[in-house]
Amino acid sequence: MERSIERLADEFIAAVETGDLDAIRTSLYAPDAQIWHNTDDRVIGCLDPWRPAKR
């Protein structure tokens, strides 16, 4: 069954607000999803934005 864009958006926001990284990784992104940043030409994994920064 295909999800509507509204349902997908609701699930994504709920997962981000609750910090549910498993939901983000397993049900909202493809397993090999990569995000391209047009400002610095970097490619990151789908969970990288929510990981604590390395010091």
Tens of pLDDT, residues 7-47? 988 988 998 899 888 887 777 777 788 888 888 998 988 76
Say what the pLDDT of residue 51 is. 63
Question: According to the model, what pLDDT value does residue 34 have?
Answer: 86
Q: What is the pTM of this model?
A: 0.56
Whether 28 and 15 have beta carbons less than 8 Å apart is answered as yes
Phi, psi (degrees; rounded to nearest 5) at 44: -125, 160
Query: Using an 8 Å Cβ cutoff, are 30 and 18 in contact?
Result: no
Report angle CA 5, 38, 36 to the nearest 5 degrees: 55
